[in-house]
Amino acid sequence: MSLQKLGLKHNTDKATFHKYLDFYQKLLPKRTFKGRLLEIGVMDGASLKMWREYYPNAEIIGIDIEDKSHLYNDDWKIPKTIDIRQIDGTDTKQLTDLGMFDIIIDDGSHYTADQQKSFEHLYLNQLNPKGFYIIEDLHTSLNPNYVNSKRNTIDYLKHAMIEYEFYHNKANPNDSMTCVIKAGQL
């Protein structure tokens, strides 16, 4: 089953609204991937369930600033093989304790300062060689309500001369932008 179909099955906005998943499937490791995946921002756990099914041999960790332990109950049915922790995605001490990752997905607050702080720490210190770092919902860089840093995140990446694969869902011209950055550029 394709990543997009799994996303629809689990009702994640990555499939239903943003339509990121065909783009991700082209760039990310195949389903036999056995590494570690971190997702910042758990929301209702839908994408974590999707990642678990797509990567059955991977270690899946989700972090959120809010307590999401209720997602393990019978209503949500988050598998116990997914590790959900209450951690601020900008707290470098707590992030360091998580170890190294092969795929990191930032779907957290979407505030530009948070995106950049998480990226600067995780990309430089906790992304394995040949890993992938994803910053979702980059359209918030175009919304003054989310820009709380010197540069918005799109300009930040350009200024740092970081190359990335960019996706913009043209059906949502003011929304649904994401990028995939390969390890080893800085």
Which stretches of 70-169 are assigned E, i.e. beta strand?
82-86, 101-106, 127-136, 165-168
14 in Cβ contact with 37 (< 8 Å): no
Q: How far apart are CA 120 and CA 23, in angstroms?
A: 24
Catalytic option among 10, 110, 159, 168: 110
- CA-closest candidate to residue 101, choices 162, 34, 7: 34
Does residue 168 carry a catalytic annotation? no
Q: How big, in percent rounded to 5, are the helix, strand and coil portions of the chain?
A: 35, 25, 45
Longest Cα–Cα distance in the chain: 46
Query: Nearest CA to 37 among 91, 102, 133, 85?
Result: 102
- Name the phi and psi angles at 137, rounded to 5: 60, 45
Beta pairing class for 101-106 and 165-168: unpaired
Taken in order 89, 179, 6, 25, the sign of the CA dihedral is negative
Residues designated as active site: 110
